[in-house]
């Protein structure tokens, strides 16, 4: 009988290869190393517990058949799990799974003993997205390019998205960062790219995930001590889409892991797509090294759609829903709802709902009523001027004093508070806030926001200022 583990394993691989799909073979069998052959016991090294579980769950029969062909009926398989405590230079160490518990012996035993192992190797990592062989992409097919209407407001981002979908990882738009305010189509566009990649390259592994869910999974992985499996999973992606990356603000552990996953994917020519509600320069509490990575590719902004685009988005939506509404009404809604696309859609949906509840036709009167309610209910945006006025009044100074160059502590604090609230309550960029509050630069505004955060934590009196002002501004 052959006694070289490599030769035995190579023969097994040849057999396995003929019996499963290429991608599955690449993913689950290529990383395996045969390490030892003692009589009819072959030890193979797998990269993680997750890997081992996957093999056991999906390929145990195949492995058994392959091994029996090579080593005969009494063939047995032992997994050696390679574990790294952390990234980088830590010494890898291994864990052997006892052969009497986890081995392949007689045919009738293959299925039975699999569940009998009572050690701690219970399902180390289940990601909801994994089903069978394929990794479920978590993409929403309703968010595609076809119904992502083009306008001046989104042309750059949309065409960059198309370019990326045509050649994932193969353009200089890597990462592609899509940013813009709420309801402007970031999530829609991100899905559209993924959906298009899947259509053009069905064999590619694509995953859409919100930064929030990514964080939850990571926290779970840390708790369960399966950090490696978590990383390994994300490193399998050809296209990774992370939505609302600003959610990672201040979460340094998750940022760290994302940094490593990002580097791995990027170095291997895989595509990363990120969305954020802010431009990279304005992201707070995101590590510099991560921010600088975001700038490697292309940052494309989604702006407020202009009137024409709003009309075509509405028409497209109505057409898809099979609803007909007279032109002037569409025009009226498009003219009055300018804040974002989500609200535009919301208004038209409630208009349709109103009319069907009351069994009334959709008239301009009804449209006015609905739009009025809609505009009133959506929080009006306070202006930076208004914020400066409220803050100055509160501290009994005039706006000129608040904006002046003085370093007197109470004036500096008032100015910082005005900047802080401008950031909190308006969509203005740091640079634009700075230029409107005493001609300062964006770094000064950023510093002000951080100072207010810190002081309201450590200084009781200061926290009272923040609370009072917050109340005045949200009334
Ligand atoms: P964001 O993620 O930026 O908050 P979404 O992607 O969730 O915004 O978009 C909000 C809604 O507006 C979604 O229903 C989306 O389909 C729609 N939408 C946004 N932009 C467009 C567009 N250009 N064409 C058609 N629908 C759009
Ligand atoms: Mg979104």
Q: Domain of 436: which CATH number?
A: 1.10.1750.10
Of the chain, the percentage scoring pLDDT greater than 70 comes to: 87
pLDDT at 341 over 50: yes
Contact 184 CB / ligand 1 (< 6 Å): yes
Q: Which of residues 39 and 246 earns the better pLDDT score?
A: 246
Give distance in angstroms: CA of 179 to centre of ligand 2: 10
- How many distinct helices (H) and strands (E) make up the chain? 19, 9
* 125 three-state secondary structure: coil
Q: Which range among 92-96, 122-126, 209-213, 433-437 shows the weakest confidence by mean pLDDT?
A: 122-126
Of 286, 302, 318, the position where a domain reaches its end is 302
Contact 148 CB / ligand 1 (< 6 Å): yes
Contact 286 CB / ligand 1 (< 6 Å): no
Cα angle value 10/11/17 (rounded, 5°): 85
Neighbours of ion ligand 2 (CB under 5 A): 186-187
Q: In this structure, are strands 76-83 and 93-96 parallel, antiparallel, or unpaired?
A: antiparallel
Q: What is the pLDDT of residue 26?
A: 80
Of 250, 269, 302, the position where a domain reaches its end is 302
Give distance in angstroms: CA of 201 to centre of ligand 2: 25
Torsion of CA 349, 355, 356, 358, to 10 degrees: 140
Contact 310 CB / ligand 1 (< 6 Å): no
What is the span of the domain harbouring residue 263? 155-302
**Average pLDDT over the chain, rounded to an integer:** 84
Same domain, 435 and 364: no
pLDDT at 270 over 50: yes
Give the count of beta carbons closer than 10 Å to the beta carbon of residue 2.
11
What's the CATH code of the domain at 92? 3.30.300.180
Q: Which range among 79-93, 377-391, 455-469 shows the weakest confidence by mean pLDDT?
A: 79-93
Q: Is residue 116 part of a domain?
A: no
Q: How confident is the model at residue 379 (pLDDT cuts 50, 70, 90)?
A: low
DSSP string covering 141-187, please?
TTS-STTS---TTTHHHHHHHHHHHHSTTSSS--SEEEE-STTSSHH
How far, in whole angstroms, is CA 126 from its chain's centroid?
A: 18
Give distance in angstroms: CA of 149 to centre of ligand 1: 9
Same domain, 291 and 343: no
- Name the nearest CA neighbour of 156 among 298, 278, 293, 294: 298
Q: How confident is the model at residue 359 (pLDDT cuts 50, 70, 90)?
A: confident
Which of the 8 DSSP states describes residue 304? -
Average pLDDT over residues 236-260: 94
pLDDT at 52 over 90: no
Same domain, 296 and 314: no
Torsion of CA 140, 146, 151, 152, to 10 degrees: 70
In this predicted model, what pLDDT tens digit does every residue of 395-431 receive, in sequence order? 999 999 999 998 999 999 999 999 999 999 888 899 9
Contact 182 CB / ligand 1 (< 6 Å): yes
- Give the phi and the psi of residue 415 in degrees, each rounded to 5: -65, -45
Q: What is the pLDDT of residue 243?
A: 97
Give distance in angstroms: CA of 209 to centre of ligand 2: 11
- Whether 325 and 362 have beta carbons less than 8 Å apart is answered as yes
Q: What is the pLDDT of residue 166?
A: 96
Q: How far apart are CA 348 and CA 341, in angstroms?
A: 11
User: How many structural domains compose the chain?
Assistant: 4
Of 273, 302, 331, the position where a domain reaches its end is 302
Which ligand 1 atom sits nearest the alpha carbon of residue 148? 24
- Whether 341 and 309 have beta carbons less than 8 Å apart is answered as no
Mutate to test the pocket of ligand 1, among 140, 150, 180, 342 (most ligand atoms within 8 A of CB): 342
Q: Which range among 56-60, 194-198, 456-460 shows the weakest confidence by mean pLDDT?
A: 56-60
Q: What is the pLDDT of residue 381?
A: 63
Give the count of beta carbons closer than 10 Å to the beta carbon of residue 357.
8
Mutate to test the pocket of ligand 1, among 185, 193, 321 (most ligand atoms within 8 A of CB): 185
Contact 191 CB / ligand 1 (< 6 Å): no
Evaluated on CA atoms 288, 289, 295, 301, the torsion sign reads negative
């Amino acid at each position: 009988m052959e006694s070289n583990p490599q030769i035995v394993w190579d023969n097994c691989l040849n057999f396995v290869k003929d019996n499963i799909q290429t991608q599955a073979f690449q993913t689950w069998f290529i990383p395996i190393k045969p390490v030892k052959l003692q009589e009819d016991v072959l030890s193979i090294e797998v990269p993680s517990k997750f890997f081992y579980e996957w093999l056991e769950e999906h390929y145990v029969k195949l492995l058994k058949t392959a091994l029996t062909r090579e080593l005969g009926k009494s063939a047995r398989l032992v997994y050696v799990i390679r574990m790294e405590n952390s990234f980088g230079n830590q010494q890898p160490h291994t864990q052997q799974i006892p052969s009497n518990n986890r081995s392949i012996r007689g045919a009738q035993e293959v299925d039975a003993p699999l569940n009998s192992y009572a050690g701690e190797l219970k399902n180390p990592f289940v990601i909801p997205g994994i089903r069978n062989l394929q990794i479920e992409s978590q993409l929403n097919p309703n968010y595609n390019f076809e119904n992502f209407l083009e306008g001046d407001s989104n042309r750059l981002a949309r065409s960059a998205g198309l370019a990326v979908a045509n050649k994932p990882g193969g353009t200089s738009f890597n990462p592609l960062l899509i940013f813009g305010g709420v309801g402007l189509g970031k999530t829609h566009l991100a899905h559209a790219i993924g959906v298009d990649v899947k259509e053009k390259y069905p064999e590619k592994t694509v995953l859409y995930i919100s930064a929030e869910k990514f964080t939850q999974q990571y926290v779970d992985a840390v708790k369960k001590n399966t950090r490696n499996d978590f990383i390994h999973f994300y490193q399998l992606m050809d296209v990774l889409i992370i939505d609302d990356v600003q959610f990672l603000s201040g979460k340094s552990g998750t940022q760290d892991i994302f940094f490593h996953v990002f580097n791995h994917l990027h170095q291997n020519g895989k595509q990363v797509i990120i969305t954020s509600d802010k431009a990279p320069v304005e992201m707070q509490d995101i590590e510099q090294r991560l921010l600088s990575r975001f700038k490697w590719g292309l940052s494309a902004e989604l702006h407020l759609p202009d009137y024409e685009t709003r009309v075509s988005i509405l028409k497209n939506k109505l057409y898809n829903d099979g609803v007909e509404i007279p032109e002037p009404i569409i025009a009226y809604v498009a003219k009055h709802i300018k804040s974002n696309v989500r609200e535009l859609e919301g208004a038209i949906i409630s208009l349709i709902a109103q009319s069907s509840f009351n069994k009334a036709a959709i008239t301009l009167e009804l449209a006015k009523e609905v739009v009025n309610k809609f505009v009133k209910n959506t929080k009006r945006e306070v202006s930076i001027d208004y914020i400066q006025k409220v803050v100055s009044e509160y501290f009994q100074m005039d706006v000129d004093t608040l904006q002046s160059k003085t370093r007197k502590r109470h004036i500096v604090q008032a100015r910082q508070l005005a900047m802080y609230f401008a950031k909190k309550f308006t969509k203005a960029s740091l640079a634009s806030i700075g230029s409107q509050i005493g001609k300062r630069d964006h770094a000064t505004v950023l510093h002000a926001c951080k100072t207010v955060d810190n002081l309201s934590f450590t200084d009781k009196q200061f926290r009272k200022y923040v609370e009072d002002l917050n109340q005045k501004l949200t009334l």
